[in-house]
Amino acid sequence: MRVSGVEFSYPDGRAALRGVDLVVEAGERVAVLGPNGAGKTTLALHLNGIYMPSSGTVSIGDAPVVESNLTEVRRRVGLVFQDSNDQLFMPKVHDDVAFGPANLGVTGAELEQRVRSALAAVSGEALADRPAHHLSGGERRRAALATVLAMDPDVLVFDEPSSDLDGAGRRELVAALLSLDLTQVVITHDLPLALELCPRAVIMREGRIVADGDTRGLLADADLLAENRLELPYGFELGALEKD
């Protein structure tokens, strides 16, 4: 995945991205950190063509993110939204997971296999016949992830995956994400989550990437965190982050 010189402004003229360059290699897990308004979600929405850059380019493997290529790009890039309800709207979780591939023309035994495999990947087999509004927050998040996995993506992009989850739901989600052998871009304010999931992190501020490196090293830099309005949770041991 390559983002080169991407700039983007909203219709009111507010600049959201100011020359973003980012390369994520196949199989990498990269956290995108930064304060509110830094441009993190705007960047995520460029990765599967929901937004298009004012200038610069985005490509997923050999597929440029352009209007003529959006069907293929959106198959390759699965975006898991912060609000799981944006992805769960059918009577049963099974139907939600089947919805995307069915719209691509997948039917019959292949469709059922995709649903089973996607739910198994998130330890969600028992969710198949349940309506989403009967699920816990963690179950909804895993069901939403399964809807994306059923599309057989190359890249997963998560917007605040741990928001509103209790401790058990968070642990279940982390286990699911660590088990997936896919490129992952994780947008989060949850710095311990970034450390647990992503060996590499970038920090955004005012539409630019201002730091890129080893997650442990970045989070151990108190001055860097303060400059970018990032804080580790109270009581979190900074010493535990020091490099060996």
CATH code of residue 163: 3.40.50.300
- Amino acid occupying residue 127: L
Task: Output the pLDDT for position 95.
Answer: 95
- Which two tokens mark 205? 């501020």
By C-alpha distance, which of 40, 4, 34 is closest to 19?
4
* DSSP class of 86: G
- How many domains is the chain built from? 1
Per-residue pLDDT of the chain (244 residues; tens, 9 = 90+): 999 999 999 999 899 999 999 999 999 999 999 999 999 999 999 999 999 999 999 999 999 999 999 988 988 999 998 888 788 999 999 999 999 999 989 999 999 999 999 999 998 999 999 998 899 888 988 999 999 999 999 999 999 888 878 888 888 888 889 989 999 999 999 999 999 999 999 999 999 999 999 999 999 999 999 999 999 887 776 555 554 4
Which pLDDT score is estimated for 244? 45
pLDDT value, residue 243: 47
Question: Hey, how many other C-beta atoms are within 10 angstroms of the C-beta on 112?
Answer: 13
Going from the C-alpha of 93 to that of each of 132, 145, 229, the distances in angstroms are: 6, 11, 38
Specify whether the CB–CB gap between 76 and 149 falls below 8 A: no
Phi, psi of 143 (to 5 degrees): -65, -40
pTM summary value:
0.90
What is the span of the domain harbouring residue 127?
2-241
